[in-house]
Amino acid sequence: MNKLDNRFATALKNLSDAPPPLAEAIRQFNEISETPDVLIFSPAFTTMDICRPASLLALTRTHWAIATQSALSGRHSAVAEAAAAFGSDYGHTLAVELSILLLDGRLALHGAGIGPGEHIIYFNTVMEKIYRDAAFFSLNQIASESINDRRVTAAVAQAISGSELSMKFKSALERFTPPGEKVISYVAWPVVFGGFHRQFAPAAMLVRTSRFLILISDDPPTGGLFHNPQQNLGYVVTYMPLQHIRGVALGGDSKLTTLEINLAAGRTSESVAILVPNESMSAVERVAGPA
């Protein structure tokens, strides 16, 4: 096994290059070969006083698997837990979520039969690009066949190119749109505040491409009474394949509407809830529209 960087995530070529407990856990999946198309090891690290476990992500053309391993007695312990691995085929992977908050990154693949927390890997965002590329690889396998959207018109394309976005969301649109995806339409809305300047919902945008609905949101409020939007430095990006969207449901009050997007593949189902200010709802419905 080659010497690994104990500070940051590393892209590997073979399972034999990964720490043995993690590699062996991945090998339990018969669909994962010794040389996956994508293989990334992330050492355990601490961010914001939270200890994140070591992980190994393996992606092939048909399946993905995640193995994690954490110390039994803190980050400096030489005693480690046995590694545990979970995975799924892409046909039953409903959504992919990429979160970037300062140095704390998270990649989640929502697959059939995967329990809470078992589908998540954490990484230091210094190495964000290799995980972003891994997310794009997964998305390409999930939606391997392009879906034709009949609402694509020159007028829509012109409206997109001429619309105004904040620098943050304009950068996010360029950074998190998968390569080769055509952006069809999008809508962005500002942060929503209530009494005492308490944040009810973060600023966000919903993007429709040829194969996905993409929700790009500020990191959600933490529950504090006061919130300064200038302190919001993170993104949460959720990719929803159009082929898995089964419908949308609406509900709300005088200030906010909840847009619930229902996803399903086989016997697996999940929903993504989006809080939208009422004045933006008609535009959001046009972008979300029927798949």
- Domains of the chain and CATH, by start: 10-142 (2.30.29), 154-288 (2.30.29)
- Mean pLDDT confidence for 90-106: 91
d(CA 242, CA 73): 44
pLDDT of residue 220: 65
| Cβ atoms of 45 and 52 closer than 8 Å | yes
pLDDT of residue 256: 87
Stronger pLDDT, 76 or 111, i.e. the higher one: 111
> Which pTM does this prediction carry?
0.85
Query: With the C-alpha atoms ordered 143, 145, 150, 151, is the resulting torsion angle positive or negative?
Result: positive
CA–chain centroid gap for 226, Å, is 27
Nearest alpha carbon to residue 241 among 142, 100, 120: 142
Stronger pLDDT, 266 or 70, i.e. the higher one: 266
- pLDDT above 80 for 163: no
pLDDT per residue over 243-281, tens digit each? 999 998 888 777 888 999 999 988 888 999 998 998 888
Stronger pLDDT, 102 or 238, i.e. the higher one: 238
Q: What DSSP line would sit under 68-120, residue for residue?
A: EE-BTT-TT-S-BPPPEEEEEEGGGEEEEEEEEETTEEEEEEEETTPPTTTTE
| Cβ atoms of 32 and 65 closer than 8 Å | yes
Q: What DSSP line would sit under 50-68, residue for residue?
A: EEEPEEEEEE-SSEEEEEE
Q: How confident is the model at residue 209 (pLDDT cuts 50, 70, 90)?
A: very high
Helix (H, G, I), strand (E, B) or coil at 273: strand
Nearest alpha carbon to residue 15 among 30, 33, 29: 33
Nearest alpha carbon to residue 184 among 156, 162, 165, 205: 156
| Cβ atoms of 55 and 68 closer than 8 Å | yes
pLDDT of residue 204: 94
pLDDT of residue 221: 54
d(CA 137, CA 180): 12
- pLDDT above 50 for 208: yes
Nearest alpha carbon to residue 95 among 106, 116, 114, 110: 110
- pLDDT above 50 for 110: yes
- pLDDT above 50 for 156: no
Look at strands 45-47 and 63-69 and give their pairing. Answer: unpaired
d(CA 190, CA 72): 43
